[in-house]
Amino acid sequence: MRTIRVETSAATILLTEAPEPKVRDRQTGEIAKDAVSGEALMTVGVVYIEDGESSLIKVTVPEGGVAEGLVLGLPVSLPGLVARPWESVFNGQQRHGIAYRSAAVTPASFPAAMGATA
């Protein structure tokens, strides 16, 4: 399925959930791996704020792309962020959503406009 590049330059992205291994199979505890590199995958929770609106999203990141020094509540950068629509049938129910993937998650700084005081 097609991926859609997400432009993040005008957004503020704050870390809301620390990186944790992405579980492929909840029954066995198997950790998800990248199909090409075989690297373990992690998920992080963020709030994506742009144009006065916000969304809580989970983003999948390769384990090697998770930077040190990430602190909950502080801004992060998600280089190469893409969105991929998905749908499936589970127990006879049609489900759909959007999966987010980034090459990395690294500390960032607040935009100048947010840090300015009068």
Q: What is the pLDDT of residues 86-118, one digit of tens each?
A: 998 888 899 999 999 999 999 998 765 554 444
Instruction: List pLDDT tens digits, range 3-50.
Output: 999 999 999 999 999 999 999 888 898 999 998 899 999 999 999 999
| φ, ψ at 106 (rounded to 5°) | -130, 155
pTM of the predicted structure, to 2 decimals: 0.85
CB contact at 8 A, 19 and 9: no
* Residue 105 CB neighbour total at 10 angstroms: 25
Mean pLDDT of the region 69-91? 94
